[in-house]
Structure 1
Amino acid sequence: MTPAENEVADLCAELIRVDSSNYGDDSGPGERAAAEVVMARLAEVGIEPAYIESAPGRGNVVTRVEGSDPSLPALLVHGHLDVVPANAADWSVDPFAGEVRDGYIWGRGAVDMKDMDAMMLAVLRQMTREGRRPRRDIVFAWVADEEAGGVYGAKHLTAHHPDLFEGVTESISEVGGYSLEVDPSLRLYLIETAQKGLAWMRLTADGTAGHGSMLNSDNAVTEIAQAVARIGGHDWPITLTPTVRQFLTEVADAFGIPFDEQDPAPVLDKIGPLVRFVGATLSHTANPTQLDAGYKSNVIPGQATAVVDGRFLPGHEEEFFKTIDSLLGPKVRREFVHHDIALETTFDGALVESMIAALKAEDPTARAVPYCMSGGTDNKTFFADLGVRGFGFVPLRLPGDMDFASMFHGVDERVPVDALQFGVRVLDRLLLNY
């Protein structure tokens, strides 16, 4: 077993034991303590990274490894150090204990995404100790605040320290590279090449305030309720983007079933719990999440608001908002709480070929397929601000019966130790050979 394989589980557990919960309101502990773990482990092998605090306690760590061929563009490998909060009462284990049990490392961040943070550390430490150089420059970045939009992390770095990413044209990060077992002779590895766009929208209706006992034809609560009902009940049509169409075609072929674009349900049935990741990428979605109006039971308020979580498909943003606006009604206006782009790149090129080769070298049954995720990652920031083409690639060979999708932000989050060891072998091959 290589040094990276030997230590990756311990590194992952060490990072999990640092509570870096991000509540989205600046009330959490921040990422500094986790960043200090990263810096200490890099210092042990003689690496002195850049440490950047975007605000007190909001720590980012960046270092560059020089490649042997300066003519090649650089690659960015990035992971976030923050995690979503965890309610310990709901868990079977302490979510911040980094406990190893039954071949798994348990804890908040085990898959989102301190597993990749640890894999990056383990591979970089091994490369440095052995004096091996990659072909191209590789920028390693452990960043803050991804779980709340990246204002203190990726967005701060691209705005204030773009020089750290000079020459970078491509990146790899979270939510991709994991396996879906078809049978003992074939595993699909899902590489994320697309992400839906995000539109958190606040809806506001103004009306005429008055006494609750009187007639009122200009009721703000009625207007907002009707708009929310129209949006929440809208049946968005299936729209297959190139990535989703290719993914469904590949899955159908792997399982030996036909693929009908008008009825993709039989194909989705084959991917089991991973439908949580993929099912929402066949159409736009718009889910009402908050309502607020009034202050007394017998007073009709003059204003009512709601919040809708909208997610739009790559290449179809204009169509999405045209539909939303038609559903609002004339008395309801919208504004953004948060708005982010959709992404889609093609499943080709030297980096894709290198990812496929690294997977197959460690798992001869591997077959890589592109997919679109319904959420978003820091790849959006690096693309929007620096033009970096991003992929989701955290290579993990998973047990066939593992409900991997439920681990993200879920109770009893955990990752197999042998999946981490597989991951560092693949990552090592990729970074040295690409």
Structure 2
Amino acid sequence: MRAWAKLMAASALVAAPALAQDAGPPMGPLRPDQVEFRALYKELVETNTTLSAGSCTLAAEKMAAHLKTAGFKDSELTLFATPENPKEGGLVAILQGRSKTVKPMLLLGHLDVVEAKREDWTRDPFTLIEENGYFYARGTSDMKAMDATWVDILARMRKSGQVPKRTIKLALTCGEETTYAFNGADWLAKNKPDLIAAEFALNEGGGGRSDGHGKVVSQSIQVGEKAVQNYKIETFNAGGHSSVPIRDNAIYELSDAIAKVRDFEFPVTLSDTTRAYFAKLGASRKDAMGAAMLAISKNPADAEAAATLSTDRSFHSMLRTTCVATLLDGGHANNALPQHATANINCRIFPGESVEQVQAKLTEVIGDPKVKISLVPPIRPPAVPPPLDPKIVGPAEKLVAKYYPGVPLIPSMSTGGTDGIFLAAIGIPVYGAPGGWGDPDGNGAHGLNERRSVRSVFVGRDFLTELVKTYAEMD
């Protein structure tokens, strides 16, 4: 998942008052099952899955081996990779349920991680190091603890002979962290939709947030996300000698277009998820921001409430589609008038809006027929928000109350993006599961010295195990 989106979501949630549950003392001696899980987690973290030097295929093969040791048959395991991308493969595993009528559930996780250079890190980024109550290494936070938990759940159920009512499927894929890489979730959705078909899926994107001092202040369940799309803005000119400048300049024209994008604000839009988010979070606050949250949840046209909320960057993004210039390129010589200039505009599109609608709006806002606006591949599917289904949210709320008394479960919409968007496109609603927690600083995900609280890993594993088993027994 995109780290900045995680960090901003974290800042939004920890802004709530301290309806807090103590995160607990340091871990004591591990239970035998936790010792086994730690070894699985360590093996996965220490398997390099960066695009440059790693192999998701190897990680998938290792996870398949664990499942085979637990009793899975070859017919229940599908390892996949394409000839063009042999190291970017993945795994689908299926634990068959008792019922022939209840639809399966799917556990989704990406194996790939962001690049990490040893010379930049305090510790080896591909060695799991436990220090001061944290696990340090690339992938400890994003998202190999959840990957290992999914594998652990299926392995333990098979070892113990448990046969759930609902079939449980697992898809571990590659390519989530790199825009132009082969994406396993996208490939499965387009090429093997029957293999991963499910009534719903659980993914990253949810989880708790601490106050940074050992107290969990909230838990969230992700119910929807924005779509990510890039657009190229281009200007053209015959150019000429720089000693005879003219106003008709490709760089000036591009600058004018970018300024118009900067000054345009997409209208406020609410989904069922964001309306519930602002209503529930607003009710827990006794300040002006809380009042604005309650007001906007009742009336999206409340301009004063929108203005107040928009002073917070994360809330601003949750209220609307956003577009921002991220790359520039122009000219061909320092003594020549530019013949061509381009900018990349990165848009995060609110669910329900299409990439074509946003393209049309950018064209309208710029209002210059000489400016070319085009979609930059890959062109992702539109964001399809899942329903706020009580059958999904209800059991999660009960478990949050059990594990974190007094801590609210808040439905949230990610302003970043996950692989869930590819599953939603083929009719599988995807929910970011609660369970563990992160710190307000983002835990170094995508950055240096990535870490995850040891207690968060083990408590999160117990939580997710119970949540999956609960869903697996529902009609």
The alignment's TM-score, normalised by the length of structure 1, stands at 0.88
Q: Residue 13 of structure 1 aligns with which residue?
A: 42
Percent identity between matched residues is 27
Q: Residue 272 of structure 1 aligns with which residue?
A: none
Q: Residue 188 of structure 2 aligns with which residue?
A: 157
Determine whether 1:252 maps to 2:289. Answer: no
Residue deviations 1:270-327 (CA, integer Å, cap 9, x gap) = xxxxx77655212322111111122211112322111111112123447644432123
Instruction: In structure 1, list runs of 5 or more residues that go unmatched.
Output: 270-274
How has the CA–CA distance of structure 1 residues 66 and 371 changed in structure 2, closer, same or farther, with 3 Å as cutoff?
Answer: same
How has the CA–CA distance of structure 1 residues 137 and 198 changed in structure 2, closer, same or farther, with 3 Å as cutoff?
Answer: same
Secondary structure class of the residue paired with 1:156: helix
Contact 2:443 2:452 in 1 (8 A): no
How has the CA–CA distance of structure 1 residues 281 and 88 changed in structure 2, closer, same or farther, with 3 Å as cutoff?
Answer: farther
Q: Residue 282 of structure 1 aligns with which residue?
A: 319
Judge which range, 375-384 or 361-370, deviates more: 361-370
**1:177-188, aligned counterparts within 5 Å?**
177-179=207-209, 187-188=217-218
Contact 2:49 2:55 in 1 (8 A): yes
Contact 2:136 2:449 in 1 (8 A): yes
Judge which range, 337-346 or 100-109, deviates more: 337-346
Distance 1:186 1:302 in 2: 55
**1:24-423, aligned counterparts within 5 Å?**
27-47=52-72, 48=74, 49-54=77-82, 55-149=85-179, 151-166=182-197, 168-179=198-209, 187-257=217-287, 258-260=290-292, 261=296, 262-263=304-305, 279-317=316-354, 320-328=358-366, 329-337=368-376, 338-340=378-380, 341-384=382-425, 386-398=426-438, 402-403=439-440, 405=442, 407-423=444-460
Distance 1:267 1:327 in 2: 24
Distance 1:215 1:187 in 2: 59
How has the CA–CA distance of structure 1 residues 88 and 327 changed in structure 2, closer, same or farther, with 3 Å as cutoff?
Answer: farther
Contact 2:211 2:440 in 1 (8 A): no
Instruction: In structure 2, list runs of 5 or more residues that go unmatched.
Output: 1-29, 297-303
How has the CA–CA distance of structure 1 residues 75 and 268 changed in structure 2, closer, same or farther, with 3 Å as cutoff?
Answer: farther
Judge which range, 113-122 or 309-318, deviates more: 309-318
Contact 1:203 1:333 in 2 (8 A): yes
Distance 1:152 1:50 in 2: 16
Contact 2:210 2:440 in 1 (8 A): no
- Alpha-carbon offset, residue 92 of structure 1: 2.3
- Alpha-carbon offset, residue 170 of structure 1: 0.4
The alignment's TM-score, normalised by the length of structure 2, stands at 0.81
Distance 1:199 1:73 in 2: 32
What is the one-letter code of the residue matched to 1:396? G
- Alpha-carbon offset, residue 76 of structure 1: 0.5
Secondary structure class of the residue paired with 2:149: helix
What is the one-letter code of the residue matched to 1:6? V
How many residues get paired?
420
- Alpha-carbon offset, residue 220 of structure 1: 1.4
Contact 2:227 2:421 in 1 (8 A): no
Secondary structure class of the residue paired with 2:379: strand
Secondary structure class of the residue paired with 1:82: coil
How has the CA–CA distance of structure 1 residues 91 and 237 changed in structure 2, closer, same or farther, with 3 Å as cutoff?
Answer: farther
RMSD, aligned CA: 2.7
Distance 2:212 2:138 in 1: 29
Residue deviations 1:307-360 (CA, integer Å, cap 9, x gap) = 111112123447644432123322111111133322322322312222223333
Distance 2:342 2:59 in 1: 38
Residue deviations 1:113-172 (CA, integer Å, cap 9, x gap) = 111111112222221221112220010111111112474301111222223124x12001
